[in-house]
Chain A
Amino acid sequence: GAGVSQSPSNKVTEKGKDVELRCDPISGHTALYWYRQSLGQGLEFLIYFQGNSAPDKSGLPSDRFSAERTGGSVSTLTIQRTQQEDSAVYLCASSLGQGAGELFFGEGSRLTVL
């Protein structure tokens, strides 16, 4: 596709369950980002992948959160033992990398933890 694709678009889960959110970036983009958008909190940086470099995981809120990027393309964000405070929209973005290229965002995955 032409844009950043995220799935699922909506996910409702029970507290304590694990969830996986997927991001398919724009072909050729070397940089991939995950952000979390909560009401009134803006966009919170989670993790950043740039090419073959070690990812910047400094934004992950706890060890329940992890992400990987396979083959320099698709990325999966995993949240283990979900809590109600994990409810948010999880946004993925990609860019050509190397500094201030424009970020292209997907439409997000809305996670609701009951």
Chain B
Amino acid sequence: AQSVTQLDSQVPVFEEAPVELRCNYSSSVSVYLFWYVQYPNQGLQLLLKYLSGSTLVESINGFEAEFNKSQTSFHLRKPSVHISDTAEYFCAVTSPSGYSTLTFGKGTMLLVSP
């Protein structure tokens, strides 16, 4: 069985400050890892994913996440946040097998204030 732990339910930051949203996973097999974002009153959408290759993955809007196998982590970072980054962020894990579901963490609400 797989599980995901998002250590912070809420992260308040000021605009232009750096931010890190933490994610740890548990799995007995190899994994694929994802971050999804849910903006207010919208559906979830994929932010970035790690499948294989480089352990550092980036999104188009400046977020990045690094897969750390030894620490079983996939923390999400951004060096300078904007008001528009205010949203809930979900970390998720699945296995590379052809028949597997996506297990989500409980989410971290990022609150960016001026």
Of the listed stretches B63-71, B74-82, B91-99, name the one at the interface; the rest are far from the partner chain: B91-99
Size of chain A's interface in residues, with CB distance under 8 A? 25
Secondary structure at chain A's binding surface: helix, strand, loop or mixed?
loop
Interface residues of A in 42-94 (CB under 8 A from B): 42-43, 45, 48, 50, 53, 56, 59, 91, 93
Could you jot down 18 A-B contacts, CB within 8 Å?
A33-B102, A40-B9, A40-B106, A41-B106, A42-B90, A42-B104, A43-B44, A48-B101, A53-B99, A56-B99, A56-B101, A91-B43, A99-B96, A99-B98, A103-B36, A103-B44, A105-B44, A107-B43
Contact A108 B101 (CB under 8 A): no
A39 to chain B, nearest CB (A): 10
Q: What is the interface of chain B, defined by CB distance below 8 A to chain A?
A: 6, 9, 32, 34, 36, 42-46, 49, 51, 90, 94, 96-107
Question: Which A positions have Cβ atoms within 8 angstroms of B?
Answer: 4, 33, 35, 40-43, 45, 48, 50, 53, 56, 59, 91, 93, 97-100, 102-103, 105-108
